[in-house]
Structure 1
């Protein structure tokens, strides 16, 4: 398997990705997809996103935090202060790198992404953080998508799209 850098996120119909530094919905089927996709790989996020997760490490994933704070230190986490050091780390190992947020991290890594996996939630929810408007999804072609219907555990319909960077 060839390793790759992949952005993975969920958004509502208006591009909402967060509220109060947390996900503004609870979709167990989408969370299961996220877990299965990222398991045994590395996940990269900003410190604010990590704080929003209660600084909880996700099992069986290597956690990378990109922060401007050079003094940041967290047990069980790889801390980076710039994009170049993250990319150097990525080149030196064999895992996929999943970029999981937040907004500034998605923007910073757009030029380096091989793929994106976006969950489009078919609803409008209240939020205060939006996926970057200037992120150019037209650089990626949809290779597959899967629709999930709402049910007793998942309050919204959603579609997961798998997109690969177009050949130049």
Structure 2
């Protein structure tokens, strides 16, 4: 039986999740949530996300990077040319499968995801990278936490796919 597919993302109300290769907001609590949820897991992500994420190899993560750049290969980083290939590799690795972006990878995996770990930032922010629309899909919220910091109000949610 295949392992469940989890997407983890922080995005604004207007679905913006990136600007110039970085997050469009700095929320320490979200960063801690992300690192806690991905530690010890298999993380599937694109080349840009991998390059900007300094802790991708820390805390026992097993990265599967979707790229054609073979220079990123190492004994700790698996490479895949497509999302389908990355998911096949991820199924063979320990831990849960956590999809960590970017936009194209989320677009391909959202329709088949079992769970969405969402940090929804209650703001409209400018950006150039968007999370695909998820609100029309059949989800059941299994966990929720409202929070805020000096700059933003945000909600952590775990959404389970309704069969």
Measured at CA, do residues 70 and 129 of structure 1 come closer, stay the same or move farther in structure 2, by a change above 3 Å?
A: closer
C-alpha separation in 2, matches of 1:43 and 1:130: 19
Q: How does 1:47-126 map to 2 (within 5 A)?
A: 47-53=47-53, 57-60=56-59, 61-67=61-67, 69=68, 71-75=70-74, 76-126=76-126
List structure 1 segments (4+ residues) > 4 angstroms apart after TM superposition: none
Following superposition of structure 1 onto structure 2, how do residues 1-168 of structure 1 map, counting pairs within 5 Å?
A: 3-53=3-53, 57-60=56-59, 61-67=61-67, 69=68, 71-75=70-74, 76-133=76-133, 135=134, 137-151=136-150, 155-167=151-163
How many residue pairs are counted as aligned between the two chains? Answer: 160
Q: Deviations over 1:78-136 (max 9, x none)?
A: 10112332232233233101101111000111233110011110122221111124x56
Segments of structure 2 that go 5 or more residues without pairing to the other structure are none
CA–CA distance in 2 between the matches of 1:94 and 1:56? 18
Give the unaligned 5+ runs of structure 1. Answer: none
TM-score by length of 1: 0.84
Root-mean-square deviation over aligned CA pairs: 2.1
Q: Deviations over 1:17-55 (max 9, x none)?
A: 0000110111111111111111110111111222333x6
Write the distance in 1 (CA, Å) between the matches of 2:57 and 2:25.
Answer: 19
